[in-house]
Amino acid sequence: MRFSVLHKGDSGRARLGEIVTPHGRFETPVFMPVGTQGSVKALSPQDLDDVGVKILLANTYHLYLRPGHRVIEKLGGLHPFMGWNGSILTDSGGFQVYSLARLRTITEEGVVFQSHLDGSRHFLGPLEAMAIQEALGADIIMAFDECPPFPADYGYVRNSVKRTNSWARKCLDAKTNESQALFGIVQGGVYLDLREESAAELAAMNFPGYALGGLSVGEDRQARQRVIETTVKALPEEKPVYLMGAGKPEDILDAVMLGVDMFDCVLPTRNGRNGTLFTSHGQMAIKNARYADDDRSVDEACRCYTCSRFSRAYLRHLYMAKELLAYRLNTIHNVYFFTTFMTQLRQAIKEDRLAAYSKDFFSSQEPRD
């Protein structure tokens, strides 16, 4: 992987960058749709190509459980397995330490999980996370980490940081595939001194890139901004920075202005399946009765397949009737919205008008349905 800073913007630490992987190039800031089990829900690889996606995310833990990383390796790796020619980033399974808290036990060596599928027990640590991700063949892979809960007391988070950084070193030592870029993950909750400590120690290990984990788990906007600003300043400027799990457009805009380059979240796909659509004026709940005979497109500023062909009334009908097409059309629109949003951010950075773009964006947002 190669990362280059192409232009530094006029607002904060915002920058336009480029990442090159074995499966292509893309500019940053970039949003990665989530394909947890090797599939971005409701969309085909062609759909993703059509809306401009260049990189997506898949999950180590879930693919390890089903169908198994050795099956995927035998079939040529994750790219041919899912028919995707673009870049792929795989999470290490560390987020499941947080999300599956009732089904796991943490030790200094790793985590014992009880499978949510059949109750079987599995051990996942830094060595296992590296072996699985190398078998999957992703372009960018993540160090195994512990994502602490929020809120959590200082002592717990301090121990979590120590454990995460120790696992990061083990991941670095265990990595064997030179074509994959391994990112370290900064933890530390909302405690700024722990974030600085974690970032400094990981920076000394000289990872190709760095991620900010443990955010968007319940903290408020101001606390999140403080953490991002503190952490980004403690990381090398020449390396890409990835904010894990933040997906609201306003949160992405905040983070871009603070120097973040990469994002992922389930919001575009999950909200699409739940009938919530992102528009240039805010979020729209398509099930609302007001759209029953509305012949307008979801967003008249949007050029996606959904908006170019179908009315709000039709999309509401599909959703209320639980037609499968509703999930596909809604998700196409939402993912297109996010890819277009990132394109607009990159253009604003390039033209040194991100501050003005930010002001216009927030003033355009209407109350949600």
Are 330 and 356 in contact by the 8 Å Cβ rule? The answer is no
Q: How confident is the model at residue 235 (pLDDT cuts 50, 70, 90)?
A: very high
- The mean pLDDT of the chain is 96
Query: Over the stretch 323-342, which tens digit does the pLDDT of each residue have?
Result: 999 999 999 999 999 999 99
Domain ranges of the chain: 2-265, 272-364
Query: Over the stretch 7-45, which tens digit does the pLDDT of each residue have?
Result: 998 888 999 999 999 999 999 999 999 999 999 999 999
Region 105-126 average pLDDT: 93
Q: How confident is the model at residue 369 (pLDDT cuts 50, 70, 90)?
A: confident
What is the secondary structure of 47-73 as a DSSP string?
Answer: HHHHTT--EEEEEHHHHHHTT-HHHHH
| pLDDT given for residue 12 in this prediction | 87
Tell me, which fold does domain 2-265 have in CATH? TIM Barrel (3.20.20)
Q: Which residue type, as a one-letter code, is found at position 284?
A: M
Q: How confident is the model at residue 2 (pLDDT cuts 50, 70, 90)?
A: very high
Residue 51 main-chain phi, psi, to 5 deg: -95, 0
Region 95-104 average pLDDT: 80
Least confident of 12-21, 60-69, 112-121, 155-164: 112-121
Q: How confident is the model at residue 101 (pLDDT cuts 50, 70, 90)?
A: confident
Query: Over the stretch 262-288, which tens digit does the pLDDT of each residue have?
Result: 999 999 999 999 999 999 999 999 999
Q: How far is CA 214 from CA 156, 191, 279, in A?
A: 13, 11, 28
| pLDDT given for residue 170 in this prediction | 98
Query: Over the stretch 74-94, which tens digit does the pLDDT of each residue have?
Result: 999 999 999 999 999 999 987
| pLDDT given for residue 145 in this prediction | 95
Cα distance between residue 93 and residue 111, in whole Å = 10
- Rounded to an integer, what is the distance from CA 327 to the centroid of its chain? 20
Tokens 């512990």 -> residue: 146
Region 202-210 average pLDDT: 98
**Annotated catalytic, 91?**
yes
- In 3D space, the residue among 224, 104, 98 whose CA is nearest the CA of residue 157 turns out to be 98
| pLDDT given for residue 355 in this prediction | 95
> Whole-prediction pTM value?
0.97
**Annotated catalytic, 264?**
yes
Region 97-121 average pLDDT: 88
Is 97's pLDDT higher than 90? no
| pLDDT given for residue 100 in this prediction | 79
Q: Identify the active-site residue in 50, 91, 145, 220.
A: 91
Q: Identify the active-site residue in 139, 145, 261, 264.
A: 264
Q: How far is CA 225 from CA 74, 152, 158, 252, 258, in A?
A: 43, 18, 20, 11, 8
Region 150-171 average pLDDT: 97
Q: How confident is the model at residue 112 (pLDDT cuts 50, 70, 90)?
A: very high
| pLDDT given for residue 11 in this prediction | 81
Helix H segments across 180-238?
192-204, 221-233
**Going along the chain, which residue ranges are E strands?**
2-8, 15-21, 24-28, 30-33, 55-59, 87-91, 104-106, 111-114, 121-124, 140-142, 181-186, 209-212, 241-243, 262-265, 276-279, 282-285
Q: How confident is the model at residue 48 (pLDDT cuts 50, 70, 90)?
A: very high
Region 102-131 average pLDDT: 93
| pLDDT given for residue 95 in this prediction | 80
Is 103's pLDDT higher than 90? no
